[in-house]
Amino acid sequence: MLDFLAQTLAGKVPTQTAGKNSHLRWQWWDEGILALTPHQSVEKTLVLSAGVHGNETAPVEILAQVVDSLLAGELELQWRLLVILGNPAALRSNQRFQHSDMNRMFGGRWQQFPESIETQRACRLEHAVDLFLAESEETICWHLDMHTAIRSSYHPRFGVLPARTTPYDEAFLSWLGCAGLQALVFHQSPGGTFTHFSSEHFNALSCTLELGKAQPFGENDLSQFDVTKQALQALLSGETSPCAESAPLRYKVAQQITRHSDAFVLHMSAQTQNFTAFPKGTLLAEDGDTRYVVKEDIEFVLFPNPNVATGLRAGLMLREI
């Protein structure tokens, strides 16, 4: 039987590139890309991805376990499913990326970066999703892209949802809560993330799931993500997931901190956790004559990172909805 993760990390084409069991047919499309199709007709399509950043290994291990269960026939698949390990080269080297951050490249933005293994891979992933969803006649289309955060967080499991012109389906948001997400963050402007690409181009209900903190392979405590894994298994097999009594908190982006030059200074320590609260008037960052200050009564920081390349996001400030 295909060992999808081991084969991807080995960087080799599998000896068997297609197969089936009593529930599904599978086909290896490309390095780290696997399509699974139920024998019966279904009305739902799901793109399930992880490893867009190569040092974020817990979601990769979770996804590999789910794929193993599907290929072993232990789960009766109820979706057309495209599984993607985003950046195999970075996974093999346990680095966030080899040259540039691939999760800023989607929606054709890879053409604006110097050519690298990430620009080539972003193009291939867009093409694979396009092919898969172009075949889709289903009425429901989801994309779940699983990550881990660089920093620790007051909400260890949270979701980031791309900006879209139509409201999110409440059943989708409810499932995210059932998957153990403690907070949901709603973007207000377009971005270069994988989930924004699928949402913008295919009207998919898309979410970036942030699950804990980045650790090397073998050092993850996967038990803390059992609720997410169980929710995924239930989703794929058409079962109902048990939900927590309290729904996730909801936030929207109030402002973005962008690094424009080498003079950029972020006034936060390396220990500042995601969702740390700052009161109105707090100086957050400076970049030459540009000053970033808290404008709302309280704003919460997300993804603070002073080491990003010039022109990229160095943090988001949120307000609670």
Which pLDDT score, from 0 to 100, does residue 138 have? 64
Tens of pLDDT, residues 21-38: 999 999 999 999 999 999
Look at residue 134 and tell me whether its pLDDT is greater than 90: no
Contact between residue 144 and residue 46 where contact means Cβ atoms under 8 Å apart: yes
Task: Strand 283-287: give its sheet, edge to edge.
Answer: 265-266, 283-287, 290-293
Q: What share of the chain is helix, strand, coil (3-state, %, to 5)?
A: 25, 30, 45
| Mean predicted confidence (pLDDT) in 153-159 | 93
Name the nearest CA neighbour of 81 among 65, 66, 96: 66
Higher pLDDT, 110 or 223: 110
Which pLDDT score, from 0 to 100, does residue 246 have? 79
% of the chain surpassing 70 pLDDT? 98
Tens of pLDDT, residues 46-69: 999 999 999 999 999 999 999 999
Q: Does domain 4-236 have CATH number 3.10.450.40?
A: no
Q: What is the mean pLDDT of the chain?
A: 93
Annotated binding residue at 267?
no
In which residue are the tokens 């019966």 written? 40
Q: Per mean pLDDT, which range of 81-90, 94-103, 212-221, 270-279 is the poorest? A: 212-221
| Angstrom distance (rounded) from CA 62 to CA 67 | 9
Annotated binding residue at 53?
yes
Kindly list the domain boundaries of the chain, sorted by start residue.
Answer: 4-236, 252-320
| Angstrom distance (rounded) from CA 157 to CA 155 | 5
% of the chain surpassing 90 pLDDT? 84
Q: What is the CATH number of domain 252-320?
A: 2.40.50.630
| Angstrom distance (rounded) from CA 319 to CA 9 | 40
Structure tokens at 1: 């039987």
Name the nearest CA neighbour of 75 among 244, 231, 243: 231
Annotated binding residue at 127?
no
Contact between residue 198 and residue 223 where contact means Cβ atoms under 8 Å apart: no
Tens of pLDDT, residues 67-78: 999 999 999 999
Sign of CA dihedral 106, 42, 131, 69: positive
Is 218 exposed, middle or buried (CB count within 10 Å of its CB: 0-12, 13-18, 19+)?
A: exposed
| Angstrom distance (rounded) from CA 32 to CA 11 | 9
Contact between residue 155 and residue 176 where contact means Cβ atoms under 8 Å apart: no
Check residue 179 and report its DSSP letter. T
Could you list the beta-strand ranges (E) of the chain.
18-20, 24-30, 33-38, 44-50, 80-85, 140-149, 157-161, 183-186, 205-213, 249-258, 265-266, 277-279, 283-287, 290-293, 298-302, 313-320
| Angstrom distance (rounded) from CA 171 to CA 247 | 12
Tens of pLDDT, residues 264-316: 999 999 999 999 999 999 999 999 999 999 999 999 999 999 999 898 899 99
Give the H or E element holding residue 195.
Answer: helix 194-202
Q: State the virtual CA torsion across 222, 194, 47, 200 in degrees, nearest 10.
A: 140
Residues annotated catalytic, as ranges: 210
Structure tokens at 184: 């949901």
